[in-house]
């Protein structure tokens, strides 16, 4: 047994987190910054954080993840990190020549109280920022929120810095993407273009962390939201923000700064969340929903009606981020599956409220918890008390999966032991189809492997 | 192997200048001293273990990573509790590939991540109470053999006294509880964390269990972390030699074994950088001599095994060793003969860790490959130039903060027969504490680069056009985008083991696979140099 010390008996804990279902803010800021074209993320702190974040993102994408660090020493942690950041800015622009440096803080620089804004101002005054180059920033203290908070902060930081309003509205919608894969961002753009909606996607990690093998390395791959688009986002007629946790702050910022009205919608995972996304986008962009979208939706529904018997009533445990879990739970319910256990380390009362709305009638026995101490250890203990048929979450679930012999669908962050997430979306109707196909594969493979020979089926 | 072809390396002065030209003046001046054009005949000073320049894009991690991740990470019967916000603990959760074998019911907490998950109120009001509560809870749920605490950056700043909490908890719970002040900003790299880990294990663990274990010969293997199962391979050799391997620091290890590790007759040091401290301290306190060994490379393995047998001056042991070498070398030779024609003269570069960039050159040599440039991520001058420079290393402000323990002889546990043995062996020409470093083993004109930056590796790849490049996960896919196979020497790309004879064979085959696969040749599409096809395709509307 890999998790041999996890007891069935649940003791209340108030201080000890075991096997967390979240990580820290800066990695989210780093990921969001990768979705900006020509941008080098920069971690203002000791070099360990940056090394950890780069390594984790690299393992997840199997792609280059470049970022700088202020490389604090004990001295900087006593006297503050201003000198380190000033040197970093100068060195990075000289050596690596990005268009933008996106600075985020770390626990260390936050605890010291470094004022990023003021230091960047100083760098500008000192002539360390070449003309036409930019340094954006956000604060990401990891003792608040989670990796999702960091992502949200960086997206907001980018908009705060770049978005401008000329006073003339353009026939265009901003799409702010929550924390999803490059494949999902690509799919969101495809759906918008199928609908004929003129849009800007921010951030956009497609063509950045899924770049092709060409025999040459490009530090700033062709993807990512451009400066021009970020500036222009202030003139868009509306913003559709996908995923409340990761995008709401940015949408509000854009409204306050440039008077762009916004709507929040869930990340379009599953039928109903995609329905809402498509409907809202069609209204905001003032376009009709084309037949091709109806067809994609219809194909998803067709598969579900055909294969419903294998899904119905199956108990599921999930862990991950609220923005993904909420629409995923809704989708599982639409498949007549039972999401019985849910944890997320990302705090926010709204999550419990949304889950309550979704689950109270259909799965009254469901247990869920988010925020501090909502960890995978607790989830595993719930499973030990009453098992589930399927696990959905990041790679760390493979230990539970193996110990308890439960099929396991990898979704979320990080996925460091399989590929696919960067290339095949889970958003939209086509993404829904992929999720259903994967779930069916897992459940039916288990049936094939474990059923008595007498009832082994050829046709299923 | 002995039939090494004489390959002259070009003088890389120009490329060095080229690299430095891009840097701001101050940076160039500093980096110049970290890039040395090697002359194995000369004493050259290699700048190392100095601060990384901010913004440079380094491979390095932090002190915490060296302490918790490297040294303590592979030990299974201890709850390793990270005191800090969630990230540090999360990222070091199972991400090094230290295999372990707890048996069917042994204690193993390595699959768990324990954290105090500090919140902003804890940062403001202090986290000592939360830490104490977390330790209590860990004890109540898991009843582990021991609990240790690792401080992360913010903890040092807010001033939580983890050592007092540890003492109190030790008293309250009756198990061993101890803390590491391994805040990430200490030192200049993981290296500081190794030292801090060595110190605390030495003061709080080693020597707690005096029961001498059975066997004619007892040893510790220090600085072998069982990545990909390396230690498992070596354990088998010791079994075959009837040597009791009391503890390994720290691959496939337990705290229980560390407690007993002062009872051995010899310490063998693999990774000099991360673990020499404990070897030195054990010698001072208990009289145990240490030797440098290396089990990376078949020849190196044979040499090391012989050296161990020579230490014990036992003919039976010597003949056992010869038997192992003879039978294993047969297989080694078969595989070398297969791969050598395909690999001879191929060019390798490696920048990694604190010993592997040296040790792995052995394996490449055995295949007839040439290492043109190499460097460490967090080593010190002695790892480059040899221990002979130890006395001349200047201690700078960053290293001065890392505690250097004053160790004295333990009058009851010191074993005078061991230094006596050492003295008599020394007379016969046997060598102890003999690490000569990387540079004497490298060719003339090879370029030695400490703490290489991204910019430097880009330029060096252009210059050397290597057939294989070795580093860590952050570099992996950068290098491969150039169409150059990249071998991770931290995680072994989830392969291995590469230690010992069996490991060497695995490595030869792996490098052969990586360099000679067809896939690199497919990267350019067939129409790339046929403009007419491209032009026609561009006409097609989608
Ligand atoms: S939790 Fe804080 S200190 Fe730890 S890795 Fe994240 S930013 Fe760094
Ligand atoms: S916060 Fe400090 S201890 Fe944690 S990863 Fe960063 S540098 Fe290392």
CA-to-CA distance for A412 and A415, rounded, in angstroms? 7
Chosen CATH of B63-184 out of 3.30.300.100, 3.30.2000.20, 3.30.70.250, 3.40.50.1980 = 3.40.50.1980
The 10s digit of each residue's pLDDT in A246-296 is: 999 999 999 999 999 999 999 999 999 999 999 999 999 999 999 999 999
| CB contact set of A79 (below 8 Å; sequence gap of 6+) | none
The 10s digit of each residue's pLDDT in B412-449 is: 999 999 999 999 999 999 999 999 999 999 999 999 99
Contact predicate B88/B184, CB 8 Å: yes
Does residue B539 surpass a pLDDT of 60?
Answer: no
Residues B28, B32, B60, B96: which is the catalytic one? B96
For chain A, the farthest-separated pair of C-alpha atoms sits apart, in whole angstroms, at 80
Probe ligand 2: pick from A43, A48, A72, max atoms within 8 Å of CB?
Answer: A48
A20: nearest CB among B86, B130, B455: B86
Provide mean pLDDT across the span A334-339. Answer: 98
Q: Answer whether B61 sits within 8 Å of A51, measured CB to CB.
A: yes
Confidence of residue B7 (pLDDT cuts 50, 70, 90): confident
| CB contact set of B411 (below 8 Å; sequence gap of 6+) | none
Q: Do domains B63-184 and B217-327+385-427 have the same CATH topology?
A: yes
User: Which helix H or strand E contains A433, and what residues bound it?
Assistant: helix A428-450
Probe ligand 1: pick from B82, B84, B156, max atoms within 8 Å of CB?
Answer: B84
Ligand 2 nearest-atom number relative to CA B183: 3
Smallest Cα distance from A136 to chain B, Å: 15
**The pair of three-digit structure tokens given for residue A29, joined into one six-digit string:** 């800021």
**The pair of three-digit structure tokens given for residue A272, joined into one six-digit string:** 């109903």
Confidence of residue B529 (pLDDT cuts 50, 70, 90): confident
Q: Is the Cα dihedral B275, B280, B286, B290 positive or negative?
A: positive
CA-to-CA distance for B149 and B390, rounded, in angstroms? 31
Q: Is the Cα dihedral B467, B473, B477, B479 positive or negative?
A: negative
Percent of chain A clearing pLDDT 70 (strictly above): 100
Provide mean pLDDT across the span A121-131. Answer: 98
The 10s digit of each residue's pLDDT in B109-125 is: 999 999 999 999 999 99
Smallest Cα distance from A344 to chain B, Å: 13
**The pair of three-digit structure tokens given for residue A361, joined into one six-digit string:** 């009638």
Contact predicate A312/A337, CB 8 Å: yes
CB atoms within 10 A of CB B122: 24
Does residue A380 surpass a pLDDT of 60?
Answer: yes
**The pair of three-digit structure tokens given for residue B277, joined into one six-digit string:** 């401290």
Does residue B538 surpass a pLDDT of 60?
Answer: no
Residues of chain B with C-beta less than 8 angstroms from the C-beta of A23: 86-87, 90-91
Q: Could you tell me the distance, in angstroms and rounded to a whole number, from the CA of residue A348 to the centre of ligand 1?
A: 20
Contact predicate B144/B78, CB 8 Å: yes
**The pair of three-digit structure tokens given for residue B463, joined into one six-digit string:** 């210059």
Pairing of strands B486-488, B114-115: unpaired
Residues of chain A with C-beta less than 8 angstroms from the C-beta of B157: 77, 108, 111-112
Residues B65, B166, B309, B499: which is the catalytic one? B65
CA angle B220, B221, B222 (to 5 degrees): 110
Provide mean pLDDT across the span B445-472. Answer: 98
Provide mean pLDDT across the span A72-90. Answer: 94
CATH of segment(s) B217-327+385-427: 3.40.50.1980
Per-residue pLDDT at A78: 87
Q: Is the Cα dihedral B362, B363, B366, B369 positive or negative?
A: negative
Q: Answer whether B55 sits within 8 Å of A95, measured CB to CB.
A: yes
B185: nearest CB among A74, A215, A218: A74
| Average pLDDT score over chain A | 98
Confidence of residue B4 (pLDDT cuts 50, 70, 90): very low
The 10s digit of each residue's pLDDT in A52-61 is: 999 999 999 9
Smallest Cα distance from B85 to chain A, Å: 5
> Catalytic residue at B357?
no
Provide mean pLDDT across the span B91-95. Answer: 97
> Catalytic residue at B65?
yes
Which candidate, A319, A447, A444, A320, places its Cα nearest to that of A382?
Answer: A319
Q: Residue A453, exposed/middle/buried by CB under 10 A (0-12, 13-18, 19+)? A: exposed
A142 torsion bin: left (phi>0), alpha (psi -120 to 50), beta (else): alpha
CA-to-CA distance for B175 and B190, rounded, in angstroms? 28
Per-residue pLDDT at B528: 83
| Average pLDDT score over chain B | 95
Does residue B2 surpass a pLDDT of 80?
Answer: no
In chain A the domains, ranked by start, together with CATH numbers, are 25-161 (3.40.50.1980), 170-290 (3.40.50.1980), 295-453 (3.40.50.1980)
For chain B, the domains span 13-59+356-381+439-539, 63-184, 217-327+385-427
Chosen CATH of B13-59+356-381+439-539 out of 3.40.50.720, 3.40.50.300, 3.30.420.10, 3.40.50.1980 = 3.40.50.1980
Per-residue pLDDT at A77: 87
Provide mean pLDDT across the span B450-459. Answer: 98
Percent of chain B clearing pLDDT 90 (strictly above): 95
Confidence of residue B542 (pLDDT cuts 50, 70, 90): very low
Confidence of residue B1 (pLDDT cuts 50, 70, 90): very low
Per-residue pLDDT at A443: 98
Probe ligand 2: pick from B87, B92, B153, B189, max atoms within 8 Å of CB?
Answer: B153
> Catalytic residue at B146?
no
Per-residue pLDDT at A437: 98
Provide mean pLDDT across the span B205-231. Answer: 97
Q: Is the Cα dihedral A398, A402, A406, A407 positive or negative?
A: positive
CA angle B101, B103, B109 (to 5 degrees): 65
CB atoms within 10 A of CB A360: 10
CA-to-CA distance for B416 and A23, rounded, in angstroms? 52
Q: A200 forms bridges with which residues in the sheet?
A: A174
Q: Answer whether A108 sits within 8 Å of B184, measured CB to CB.
A: yes
Q: Could you tell me the distance, in angstroms and rounded to a whole number, from the CA of residue A108 to the centre of ligand 1?
A: 8
Q: Long-range contacts for B384-387 (Cβ within 8 Å, ≥24 apart)?
A: B384/B46, B384/B48, B384/B437, B384/B438, B384/B439, B384/B448, B384/B450, B385/B43, B385/B44, B385/B45, B385/B46, B385/B437, B385/B439, B386/B435, B386/B436, B386/B437, B386/B439, B386/B440, B387/B433, B387/B434, B387/B435, B387/B436, B387/B437
The residues lining ligand 2, judged by C-beta closer than 6 Å to any ligand atom, are A 45-46, 48-49, 52, 106-108; B 62, 64, 88, 152-153, 183-184
Per-residue pLDDT at B3: 43
Q: Residue A310, exposed/middle/buried by CB under 10 A (0-12, 13-18, 19+)? A: middle
Per-residue pLDDT at B401: 86
Residues of chain A with C-beta less than 8 angstroms from the C-beta of B116: 15-17
Per-residue pLDDT at B30: 98
> Catalytic residue at B145?
no
Phi, psi of B515 (to 5 degrees): -80, -35
The 10s digit of each residue's pLDDT in B274-311 is: 999 999 999 999 999 999 999 999 999 999 999 999 99
Give the best residue of B21, B26, B53, B57 to mutate against chain A (max A CB count within 10 A): B57
Residues B31, B62, B197, B348: which is the catalytic one? B62
B119: nearest CB among A143, A211, A217: A143
Does residue A399 surpass a pLDDT of 80?
Answer: yes
Phi, psi of B218 (to 5 degrees): -125, 135
């Amino acid at each position: 047994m890999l998790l041999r010390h996890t007891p069935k008996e649940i003791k209340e804990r108030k201080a000890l987190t075991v096997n967390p279902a979240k990580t820290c803010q800066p990695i989210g800021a780093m990921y969001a910054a990768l979705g900006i074209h020509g941008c080098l993320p920069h971690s203002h702190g000791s070099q360990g954080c940056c090394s950890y974040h780069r390594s984790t993102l690299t393992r997840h994408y199997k792609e280059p993840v470049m970022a700088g660090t202020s490389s604090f020493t004990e001295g900087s942690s006593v006297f503050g990190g201003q000198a380190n950041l000033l040197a970093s800015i100068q060195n990075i622009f000289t050596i690596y020549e990005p268009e933008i440096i996106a600075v985020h803080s770390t626990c260390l620089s936050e605890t010291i109280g470094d004022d990023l804004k003021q230091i960047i101002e100083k760098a500008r005054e000192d002539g360390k920022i070449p003309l036409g180059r930019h340094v954006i920033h956000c604060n990401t203290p990891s003792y608040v929120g989670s990796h999702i908070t960091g992502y949200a902060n960086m997206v907001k930081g980018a908009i705060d810095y770049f978005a401008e309003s000329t006073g003339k509205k353009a026939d265009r919608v901003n799409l702010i993407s929550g924390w999803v894969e490059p494949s999902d961002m690509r799919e969101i753009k495809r759906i918008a273009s199928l609908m004929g909606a003129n849009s800007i996607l921010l951030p956009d990690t497609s063509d950045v962390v899924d770049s092709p093998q060409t025999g040459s390395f490009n530090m700033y791959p062709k993807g990512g939201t451009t400066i021009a688009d970020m500036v222009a986002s202030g003139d868009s007629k509306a913003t559709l923000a996908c995923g409340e946790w990761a995008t709401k702050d940015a949408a509000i910022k854009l409204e306050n700064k440039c008077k762009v009205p916004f709507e929040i919608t869930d990340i379009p995972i599953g039928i109903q969340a995609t329905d809402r996304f498509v409907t809202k986008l069609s209204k905001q962009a003032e376009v009709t929903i084309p037949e091709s979208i109806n067809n994609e939706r219809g194909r998803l529904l067709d598969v579900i009606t055909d294969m419903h018997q294998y899904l119905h009533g199956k108990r599921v445990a999930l862990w991950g981020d609220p923005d993904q879990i909420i629409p995923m739970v809704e989708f599982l319910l639409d498949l007549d599956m039972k999401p019985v256990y849910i944890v997320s380390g990302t705090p926010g009362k709204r999550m419990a409220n949304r889950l309550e709305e979704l689950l109270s009638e259909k799965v009254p026995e469901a247990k869920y918890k988010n925020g501090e101490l909502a960890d995978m250890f607790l989830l595993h203990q719930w499973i030990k008390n009453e098992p589930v048929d399927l696990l959905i979450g990041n790679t760390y679930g493979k230990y539970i999966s193996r110990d308890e012999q439960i099929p396991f669908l990898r979704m979320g962050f990080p996925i460091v032991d399989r590929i696919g997430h960067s290339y095949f979306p889970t958003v939209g109707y086509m993404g829904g189809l992929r999720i259903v196909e994967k779930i069916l594969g897992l459940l039916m493979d288990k049936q094939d492997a474990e059923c008595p020979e007498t009832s082994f089926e050829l046709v299923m | 192997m002995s039939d090494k072809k004489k390959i002259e390396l070009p003088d890389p002065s120009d490329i060095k200048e080229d690299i430095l030209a891009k840097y701001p003046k101050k940076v160039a001046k500093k980096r110049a001293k970290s890039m040395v054009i090697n002359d194995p005949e000369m004493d050259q000073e290699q700048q190392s273990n100095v601060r990384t320049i901010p913004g440079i894009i380094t491979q390095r991690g932090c002190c915490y990573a060296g302490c918790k991740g490297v040294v303590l990470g592979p030990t299974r019967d201890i709850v390793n509790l990270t005191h800090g916000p969630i990230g540090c603990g999360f990222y070091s959760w199972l991400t090094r590939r230290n295999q372990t074998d707890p048996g069917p019911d042994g204690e193993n907490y390595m699959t768990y991540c324990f954290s105090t998950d500090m919140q902003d109120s804890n940062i403001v009001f202090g986290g000592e109470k939360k830490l104490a509560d977390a330790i209590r809870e860990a004890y109540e749920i898991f009843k582990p053999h021991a609990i240790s605490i690792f401080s992360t950056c913010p903890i040092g700043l807010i001033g939580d006294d983890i050592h007092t909490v540890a003492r109190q908890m030790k008293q309250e719970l009756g198990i061993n509880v101890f803390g590491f002040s391994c805040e990430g900003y200490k030192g200049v790299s993981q290296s500081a964390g190794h030292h801090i880990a060595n110190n605390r294990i030495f003061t709080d663990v080693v020597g707690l269990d005096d029961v001498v274990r059975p066997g004619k010969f007892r040893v510790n293997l220090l600085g072998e972390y069982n990545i990909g199962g390396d230690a498992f391979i070596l354990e088998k050799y010791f079994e075959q030699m009837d040597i009791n391997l009391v503890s390994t620091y720290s691959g496939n290890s337990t705290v229980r074994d560390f407690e007993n590790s002062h009872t051995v007759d010899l310490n063998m040091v693999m990774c000099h950088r991360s673990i020499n401290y404990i070897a030195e301290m054990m010698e001072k306190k208990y009289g145990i001599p240490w030797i440098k060994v290396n089990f990376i490379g078949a020849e190196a393995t044979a040499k090391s095994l012989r050296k161990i047998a020579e230490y014990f001056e036992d003919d039976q042991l010597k003949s056992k060793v010869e038997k192992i070498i003879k039978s294993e070398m047969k297989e080694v030779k078969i595989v070398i003969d297969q791969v050598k024609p395909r690999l001879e003269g191929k060019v390798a570069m490696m920048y990694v860790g604190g010993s592997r960039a040296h040790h792995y050159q052995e394996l490449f040599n055995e295949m007839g490959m040439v290492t043109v440039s190499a460097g460490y991520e967090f080593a010190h001058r002695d790892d480059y130039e040899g221990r002979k420079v130890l006395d001349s290393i200047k201690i700078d402000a960053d290293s001065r903060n890392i505690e250097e323990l004053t160790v004295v002889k333990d009058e009851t546990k010191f074993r005078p027969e061991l230094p006596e043995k050492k003295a008599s062996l020394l007379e016969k020409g046997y060598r102890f504490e003999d690490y000569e470093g990387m540079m004497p083993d490298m060719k003339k004109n090879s370029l030695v680069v400490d703490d290489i930056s991204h910019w430097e590796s880009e330029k060096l790849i252009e210059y050397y056009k290597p057939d294989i490049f070795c580093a860590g996960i952050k570099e992996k896919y950068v290098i491969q985008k150039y169409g150059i196979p990249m071998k991770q020497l931290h995680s072994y790309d989830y392969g291995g083991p590469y230690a010992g004879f069996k490991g060497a064979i695995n490595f030869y085959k792996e490098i052969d696979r990586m360099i000679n696969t067809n896939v690199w040749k497919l990267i350019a599409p067939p129409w790339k140099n046929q403009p007419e096809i491209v032009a026609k395709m561009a006409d097609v509307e989608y």
